Each structure stands twice: as structure tokens, then as C-alpha cells.
Chain A
Amino acid sequence: MNWPFILKTAYRDSRKDRSKLILFMSSIVLGIAALVAINSFNYNLVKDIDEQAKSLLGADIVISGNHPMTEQIAALTDTIPGDRASEVELFTMAYLPKTDDSQFVRIKAIEGAFPFYGVLKTEPADAGTQYQSRQQILVDDGMMLQYGLEVGDSVRIGGVPMLIGGRLMSAFGSIGAGSSFAPLVYITPDLLDQSQLVQPGSMVDYSYYYKSGDDFGADDWEDMVREDFRNESMRIQTIEDQKEDLDEAFSSLNYFLNLVALVSLLLGCIGVASSVMIYVKNKISSIAIFRCLGMKGSEALMIYFVQIILLGLISVVIGAVMGSTIQMLLPVILRDFLPYAVEMDLSWRAIGEGIVIGAVITSLFALVPLMDVRRVSPLRTLRASVDDIEGGRDYLKWLLYVLIVIAIAGFLWTLTGSVIDGAIFTVGLLIAFGVLYGVARVIIWAVRRFFPRRSSFVLRQGLSNLYRPNNQTQTLVVAIGLGTAILTTLFIIQGLLLQNVGSMDAGNQPNMILFGIERDQSEELAELTREYELPVIQQVPIVTMRLAAWQGKTKDEWFADTTRTASRWAINREARVTFRDTLNPDETLIKGEFTGYVEPGDSIFVSLAERFAEALDVDLGDELVWNVQGALIKTYVGSIREINFRSMQTRFFILFPNGVLERAPQFQVLVTKSPDTETTAAYRSAVVKAFPNVSVIDLGMILSTLNDILSKVSYIIQFMAGFSILTGLIVLISSLFLSKYQRIRESVLLRTLGAHRRQIMRINFTEYFMLGSLSALTGIFIALIGSYLLAKYQLELDFDLRWWPILMVYIVVVGLTVLIGLFNSREVVQKSPLEILRKEIG
């Protein structure tokens, strides 16, 4: 090949037309920018996870469970060398005498010099190390600010006055938001004893910390004893585990960000393909001349490939630079979701990957339209009406399609981290492409077949543009439709993510839950509730118990049995059980018969929630033996219920009939609804003063916290989706410029023949409206199916659709299509036909 000539000609040819490639370049820049920004951010996050895991855990090994360490466990931990500490954690109410307020808090009572790694950041700084010896407490800084508390003020917890020794500036080992509804308070073991908050059946978590050092081999030890710990339902966590947990905590954030990167990149690809297609179409007469003068097809291809690839590479680099800049912004936007301040460094890996992926994808997608350059007939120099491209199969093009599918599948594979997911996504995209192509064919066929012969001239012209030679129906339907589909999927998923959490806020639901009520307090508390004119919506007893045996074998026997099908979480769960003689409205019986009462001595039939029964793999009639604070109670599965999980009522996996548990150690839960925040605050204070052991959870507060988080989430989602929307716009614009090329001659001709400008506008309007409408509708249809599958199988969300964002997408896509289409024909309408004809000849 004659390279000097090719390079020279490539340069000369592009000289005047480079601005025509702006759309092409923007597609790449945006796509790669999103990819690089997101990947850099992810890599920085991972790098920091490794650095932060140790100080987030604070120890080499942490053992935790919802009961104190048993004899067996204590024996197993004897071999761990080094310092130790222990912690008791529970939720309760704190009463603040200073402001007569009360607040639901998370209490940690630590014995020992925990944390071993990192420090407890407090103000004053020495409070973190001194509060234990001074018998003081540390209170979350946010909570102190909220109530105007100062160091030296006192707080009552479980009725015991405690002195605030310091502000807690950073919490240990907690990830993300949500803690603001139960701020953290560090107290001492002695204070905890005095408060008498730890009672049989109360919900308490126990943790044991070990500073074993690096030589001990924490992970090997964990592997050795894991089974024993599981059987005792205690969890071991090492620094390695902590890293994995952090990874997992970020995985949904990652998942969404990756989705955005993918969407931007795919839209970018469509943008590349359609903008290069326009470029090639504009160049066809030049190419025909080159061919006529004796240029080989491959040389002609190279001339344009060189132009495209060079500008493509420049754009990829610009995109990478832009992406690296944007990633610096991401931690600011995501700040509230991150457990630590992520250090943002330039990620050369992300930049490198972005450049490579960008170069590969750009070359592949640009080559598809460029392939046609080889097949431009030199005959066009003699006869302008000759088909642009010679017919026949182009096997190289098919090879290119195969390569593109492989590249996308590979990219999706690295993104999702799973071959199967990658394949599923790829097949989904192929199907979407096929559907759009098919729809375009059907449109062309249908308009021909059912052509409204008697309608107005304008309508007939507009419609026949859809099937005439050189029509743009297929290209536009595929490009606009695919763009719409991808963007709409993103919107729907975003909506679902936000909605599934938000839907709990509905109407007349109860909004306050009181728990930890002792049996002899229940009457008085109900009385107090009514005094504040609040309804007692639900007042139920709760008995905690554990599963001891089922289907004739004890738990230990089952754990030794390899045929066990029951899930561990269902077995080891500390069951919170209630008893009553009727089903609640939000419960539906799906199997068996519900028994409301048993006579002493009769067989006891309990009712299980469907999910729990499945997890335990038991069915009607199966035997279950429970350990209720030491006493064994044998029961049978009498019925299986489905529970509506949207309801804010307390719900129970296991429901006993009346007549069994009345005498067992128990707490009660009371559910009520407060009309406003003043009543809530007053009632809460009254409750905490009269019953220091009772906890009041204000769901309104939780919901507003959730809303807070949600608005941040949607902010992030909108920021990120902005990338995709921009790219989508570019795709739309470039697809439509494509059509300018096709339609301008015809419009000029009509104009020359005396068509009124309004007629031309209307003809074009008809065509673009049909195209925009049909592509958008098909795209939305594909998005509905796609996001339904994604929601159902990948994200496990309820598919409860909001239609107005989809309507918006439709209106915007059709509106833009028509607007840009009309904008294109504006030139025809405004200038004299001669001027344009002259230009076309040049």
C-alpha cells in the first residue's frame, strides 16, 4: 500500500471537514470520560479499602454474636495471644434532662483498651482513653449538636444518670449513613450493670476483640474453628474478612456506577457508528472520484480510517483526561456513603484501560460504516443516481460484527465479573438490536401496505419518505430506539431503587414502635399512650427462643448430617415469637389451618412465614422443638403464612397460638401512630421517664433519615446519568444529521417545484414524528422488558413502575427528533433553492 500517499491524502481530505467529526469526537470523549472516572474511583476505593480495613476493625480478630461467649468458645479462644477487649452493644432510649428530650441510641460498653488499631477520635482528645477510668460516657458529636449538649452534661440511660466525658467524632466499624437515627454512645461496663438494661431476652450483641498480631495467622485459625463457632452461632471477623465486607458493601454502588459507565459507553458506540456513517455518506462522491482515478478499495478505506482513528485517539485521550478530572469530584458527591475519606489519586490503570477500550471500541464501531468505503462504485462519477454502495455480501463486515459482539461481551464480562452475566447482557443487547431492526422493517412494510392513498399531499409525502429508496428508517429506528431503550432502562432502575425504599412512607401506617416493655408495665404503658390520645394499634408479647431440634433430630445431629437442607440463618436465628388467636390483615394463610388456641396438653401447631418455612425446608406436620430460655417445647407446623412486607407493623416469622407461652419470660411491643412531631417528642419523654427500660423508635425519624439518604442517592444517580443523557443527545443529533444528507435534495427539489415552506416543514414533521414516535416506543418497550428482568433477577426489586418519567422520555425523544429534523430542513426553507443546488454540486 502506498502509505505516504494515503497519509498525505488523509490529511488533505480531512482539512476542511474536521469540524464534521465533532459529534464523533464528543461521543467518544463522553463515553470514555464516564468509564475512566468510574473505574478510577473504583480502583481508588479498593486501594483504600486495603489501607483502611485494619483501623476500621480495630483488632486482628473480632468474635461476635447475640449471646455471651459459651464455655466451648472460650476454650477455643484460649490459644489466641495478645491483648483482649470485650464489648456489649444494645439499643435503648437516652433521656436528656437538660432539654427534656429523649433519643433512641446505640450503646457500646467496652471493657479493655479497644481499639487496638486506630484511635477513638474524641473531643477533648484524651476523653477516648480516659472515659473508662473516669466512669464517664462518650456521645456522638451529631447528637450533642442536635440537642445542644456539652461535655459535663448528664444523660440518663436506663434511669441511671451518666456524665458526658467527651464528644465522639468518628464511630468505629460502622459503614455508611443510617446511624443518625440511633447515635452511638460509649459507656462503661459498670454503668451498664447499674442500668440493668441487659435482661434475659433483651436484644444484646456481644463482641470480643483480640490483638493477636500478624504472626498468629488469624485467617488460618478462623478456618480451623469456623464450624464450631457457627454451631454456637458466633461470628469471627478478621481484617481479611473486613476487606471482603467492605468490598461487598460497595458492590451495589459499584454495580450502579458500572451500569452508568456501560450505558455511556454503549451510547458512545452508537454515536461513533452513526457519526462516522454521516461522514462516509458525505464523502461518497469524493470516494467515487478517487476510485475512478484508480484508487484501490483498501486504499480508500485507509484514507478515511486514518482520519477517524487519529481523531478517535485524540478524543479517547481527551476523554481520559476529563474522566480523571471528574473522578476527583466523585468523592465529594459520594461523601456521605463512604466510611472514610477516599484519597483520589490518578489511576493509571483506569486511564490505560479507558484508552485501550476506547481505541478498540472506536475502531470497531467506526469500521462498520467505513467498510462501505471499499464498495463505493466509481460509476457514481458518471451517474449520481447509482446506489451509494455496491450490493452483495460483505464478509469482512460480518467478521467485524462478530468482533464487536466479542468485544462487547468481553467488556461486559470484566464489568460484571461473571461470564454468564456478561453473556446474558450481550444476548439482551443483540435481541434489542434485532427487535429494533425488525420493527423498522415492519414499519416500512406496513406503511407501504396500508398507505393512506386518499390523504393529503403532505401526509403522503411524509409517510412515503419512510420507505422510499435511500430511506433512513432502519438506521434511525435502530439508533434512536437503542439509545432510548438504554436510557429508559437506567431511569426505570433508578426509579425502582428509590421507590422500593420510599414506599414505606404510605398514608395511615403506624409510626412509632415501643419495645422492651416488661409484662407488668404493659397496662400502665397502654394507659399512658391513651392519655396522649394515641391509639394502641398493636400490643404484642415477644418471646425469644431458639430452635433445638426439628424433624426428629437435634441441631447438633443436623449439623453433623451432610443431607441437611435447612439454611443456617434459619436454624441459628434467635427467634422472636409472638402468640395470638387471629391472623392480622397483612397476613394471608397459604397452606394448612391456623390454630388460635391450644388446651394444655394438646399438640401445639405453630404458623410459619413462608420464607422461614422454605429456609428451614419444613412443611405442614413437621415437628419443631424450641428452646425457650432453657425449657424445651415441642410443636408442629400447622400452617404457613404469607406476610405483606410493606407494612410497618412488627411481623413474626413464627406465630404461636394462645395458651402456651403466656408464662414464658417475655417482652412486649407496642405500636402506635403519632399525629405530629411535638406529640411524638412529648410522649417519648414521658415514656422514657416512667419506663427507662422501654425503647421508643420513631419511624417518622427513620423515614426522614431515609429520605435524606434517598435524595443524596438520587442526586448521585442524576449526576451520573447526566453523562449518559448527554451521550444520548449526541447520538440523537448525529443520527438526525444523517437524515439531513438524505432529505435535503428532495426538499430542495420540491421547493424548486414551488412547494410552500410550510408544506416542506409539514412533510418533514410527519416523517420525523413517525420515526421518533415509533423508535421511542420500541425503545421504551425494550426497556420495560429489560428492566423488568434486571429488577426481578439481578436486583430483586419489586417491579412497580412509575409512568411519568417514561412519558417524559417519550416526549423528549420525539420532541428532539422533530426539532432537530426541522432544524435540518430549515436551511432548505430559508435559502434559495439555487444556492443549495450549487453547493451540492461542488
Chain B
Amino acid sequence: MQHILSVRELTKIYQGVNRELTVLDHVSFDIARGEVVSIVGPSGSGKTTLLGLCAGLDAPSSGQVVLTGRDISQLSEDDKAQVRNENVGFIFQNFQLLPTLTALENVMIPLELQGKAKGAAAIAKDLLDRVGLGDRHDHYPMQLSGGEQQRVSLARAFSNSPKVLFADEPTGNLDEDTGHVVEQLLFDLNKEQGTTLIIVTHNPDLAAKTDRVIRLKGGKVVSDVLNEKVAR
């Protein structure tokens, strides 16, 4: 079976003032197309670092990341950017919407980046309707609540029909109820598009809803199990 993401012996070392800090220590795993995986672990265990490396936002100290068949540790910054644009979607803990762009324009960005300006607006509008923000197209992020911002962010993440979607603590900044709404939307959209979903979280409830849980501790994979009861 072909893997959409393969991580081999991935190591990340930060150079401290007088000592090295090994944040990721020879981490390896494979993720299959369409899988829904959560990466869990205590704070400081290296989850975000791992996500950044998998998405090509950062460069590893050693090891290999193969994303959609390309070894991204070998690519230049601009090539990695292109891989991200074509294959990857993101959802962040603090939303990361562009403050100077309206909700609609934010959602259109990944498509426009690909040069697909034509149908972009239609797709973006559909997605905004889908996340329940059909009447908020022209609002700027400042005019939206946290939950609404994260929904715009969801719409943006799916707008370029990514093969992989990375989410770092997607509900970390939201209250419980709003968090549930966003979670539900995330899983629903994912199901519709058949995207591979990788969620970093320290929320056991959220992790419990995924197919597979990779547990990190002290920069090492301590367990990698398939979830028995898939409660989706």
C-alpha cells in the first residue's frame, strides 16, 4: 500500500546556549491515504515540532519525510511551498487568518495561489456556506468570533482539496461547545473529501474520535495504536 506520509528516523535537535536539546529522537511511522490519525502527548513532548517537520515548515536535523511521494527534506523552500499548496491543508490553534483579507478572500487564497482564479469564488462560497458562514463573506477576521474564525480556517483548509490536512490543537483556543461544532465540521468535511487527516492534540476526547493514535513522550513514539471503537 502506498503511504501518503512516511516519517523515517526523524530527529530534531535544538542548539541551546550550552547544551543540545533533542526534541524529536528517531521518530518513524507511516500514514496511509485516507487515514485519520491523532498525535497526542504531554505539553513539550514535540508534537508541534513533528507537525512542522511533516508539513515541510521546518527542516529536520536528520531523518526523512516523504509526503505524497516526495522526499521533502531534499526540496528547496519554494518547492516545499508548492508541495504544500497542492497537497496540504492547515488548521491552527490560533486560526491564522490573514487580517487584511475578508473571510471569502481568505478561503480563496490557496486556489488563487494555484492560478485557479476562475472557479475560486464559487468554491469558496460553497465552503463558507457549508461551515455555516454564508452571510459573513465580506467580514474581516477581526469582526468574527474565535469559533467563526476557526470555521473560516476550516473552509480555507479544504478549499484546494488537499490530500493531507494537518491540524495543530484545532480546538485548543475554543470553549467546549464551540470546539465540538468545529470538530464535527472537520470530521464531516473530511469524510466528504476523503482527506488524510493528522490532528495534534492533547485532548483525549478528540483523540478518541480518530482511527489511530500516535503517542509521543520526550521526543519518542511511545505507542502507535489503532482505535477500537471508532466513534465517528
Q: A9-B112, A16-B100, A289-B98 are in contact. Are A295 and B92 (CB under 8 A)?
A: no
- Cα-based distance from A33 to B110 in the complex (angstroms): 42
Q: Quick check: is A630 within 8 A (CB to CB) of the other chain?
A: no
**Stretch in A46-54, A158-166, A376-384 touching the partner:** A376-384
Q: Could you tell me the distance in whole angstroms from the C-beta of B96 to the nearest C-beta in chain A? A: 5
Cβ of B99 and Cβ of A295 under 8 Å apart?
no
Q: Considering residues A9, A290, A384, which has the most beta carbons from chain B within 10 angstroms of its beta carbon?
A: A9
* A296 in contact with B58 (CB, 8 Å): no
| B98 engages A379 (CB within 8 Å) | no
- Most chain A CB atoms below 10 A, which of B48, B85, B113: B113
A393 close to B (CB within 8 Å): no
- B52: chain A residues within 8 A (beta carbon): 379, 382-383
* A834 CB to nearest chain B CB (Å): 14
Q: What distance in Å separates the Cβ of A110 from its nearest Cβ neighbour in chain B?
A: 77
Q: Is the CB of A286 within 8 A of B113?
A: no
Collect the chain B residues with CB atoms within 8 Å of residue A384's CB. Answer: 94
Closest chain B CB from A383 CB (angstroms): 6
Contact indicator per residue, chain A 614-627, by CB within 8 Å of chain B (1) or not (0): 00000000000000
Q: With A and B bound together, what is the CA distance between A9 and B113 in angstroms?
A: 10
Report yes or no: B57 in contact with A294, Cβ–Cβ below 8 A.
no
Residues 284-323 of chain A: 1 if any B CB is under 8 Å from the residue's CB, otherwise 0? 0110111111111110000000000000000000000000
Task: Tell me whether A377 and B57 are in contact (CB under 8 A).
Answer: yes
Asked if A293 and B92 sit within 8 Å, CB to CB, the answer is no
Please tell me the number of chain B residues within 8 Å of chain A, measured between CB atoms.
36
- With A5-B113, A842-B142: A13-B94 Cβ-Cβ less than 8 Å: no
A99 / chain B contacts, CB cutoff of 8 Å: none
Instruction: Say whether B96 contacts A292, CB under 8 Å.
Output: yes
Smallest CB–CB gap between B226 and chain A, Å?
A: 27
**B117 — which chain A residues lie within 8 A by C-beta?**
4-5, 8
Flag the segment in B61-69, B76-84, B177-185, B189-197 that touches A.
B76-84
Residues of A within 8 A of B148 (CB): none
A568 at the interface (CB under 8 A from B): no
**How far apart are B98's CB and chain A's nearest CB, in angstroms?**
5
Given contacts A12-B100, A382-B52, A293 and B57 within 8 Å (CB-CB): no
Among A12, A296, A297, A381, which residue has its beta carbon within 8 angstroms of that of B101? A12
Min Cβ gap A380→B in Å is 9
The answer on a CB contact under 8 Å between B84 and A297 is no
A1-55 interface (Cβ within 8 A of B): 2, 4-5, 8-9, 12-17
> What 3 pairs between A and B have smallest CB-CB spacing?
A294-B85, A294-B84, A378-B57
Chain B residues proximal to chain A, CB less than 8 Å: 48, 51-52, 55, 57-58, 77-78, 81-86, 88, 90, 92, 94, 96-101, 105, 109-110, 112-113, 115, 117, 140-142, 156, 168
**30 residue pairs A–B, Cβ–Cβ below 8 Å:** A2-B113, A2-B115, A4-B117, A13-B98, A13-B100, A13-B101, A15-B100, A17-B100, A289-B96, A289-B97, A292-B84, A292-B90, A293-B85, A293-B90, A293-B113, A294-B81, A295-B85, A296-B81, A297-B77, A377-B57, A377-B58, A378-B57, A378-B81, A378-B84, A381-B57, A382-B52, A382-B57, A382-B92, A383-B48, A383-B52
Q: List residues of chain A with CB under 8 Å of any chain B CB.
A: 2, 4-5, 8-9, 12-17, 285-286, 288-298, 377-379, 381-384, 841-842
Extra A-B contacts (6), CB below 8 Å, given A298-B78, A377-B58: A290-B98, A293-B113, A294-B82, A294-B88, A295-B85, A382-B51
